[in-house]
C-alpha cells in the first residue's frame, strides 16, 4: 500500500496497528490501556475515525512512545 498518498486517518491507523503489534498488544489490550472502547481502536486502525488530540495522547501513552517517535516515520514527513 502506498502510504505517501494515503489519507491522514489511514496513516495514523496504520501506525497505531504497527506499534500495537510490535508491543504484542491485542486491540482489546490497547483499548484497555488507552481507556477507549475496543471497537474505537478497530475503527482507528482501519482509518474510519478522525481521532481527537486527547485520544491520540491516550494511544501514544498506552503504546509507550513519544509523540515524536509516533510521527517520526517517512509516511508523516511528506
pLDDT at 72: 95
pLDDT at 77: 81
Query: What is the domain extent for residue 70?
Result: 3-76
Q: Which three cell numbers stand for residue 61?
A: 501513552
Q: Which are the contacts of 74, defined by CB distance < 8 A and separation ≥ 6?
A: none
pTM over 0.75: yes
Q: Which three cell numbers stand for residue 8?
A: 491522514
CATH number for the domain including 41? 1.10.260.40
Give the sign of the dihedral formed by CA 24, CA 27, CA 32, CA 35. Answer: positive
- Does pLDDT of 5 surpass 70? no
Q: Which three cell numbers stand for residue 39?
A: 471497537
pLDDT at 6: 67
Q: Which three cell numbers stand for residue 36?
A: 477507549
Number of domains in the chain: 1
**Per-residue pLDDT reduced to its tens digit, 20-67:** 999 999 999 999 999 999 999 999 999 999 999 999 999 999 999 999
Amino acid at each position: 500500500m502506498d502510504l505517501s498518498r494515503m489519507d491522514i486517518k489511514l496513516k495514523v491507523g496504520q501506525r497505531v496497528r504497527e506499534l500495537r503489534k510490535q508491543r504484542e498488544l491485542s486491540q482489546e489490550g490497547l483499548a484497555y490501556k488507552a481507556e477507549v472502547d475496543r471497537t474505537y481502536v478497530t475503527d482507528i486502525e482501519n482509518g474510519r475515525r478522525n481521532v481527537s488530540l486527547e485520544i491520540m495522547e491516550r494511544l501514544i501513552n498506552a503504546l509507550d512512545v513519544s509523540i515524536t517517535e509516533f510521527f517520526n516515520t517517512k509516511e508523516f514527513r511528506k
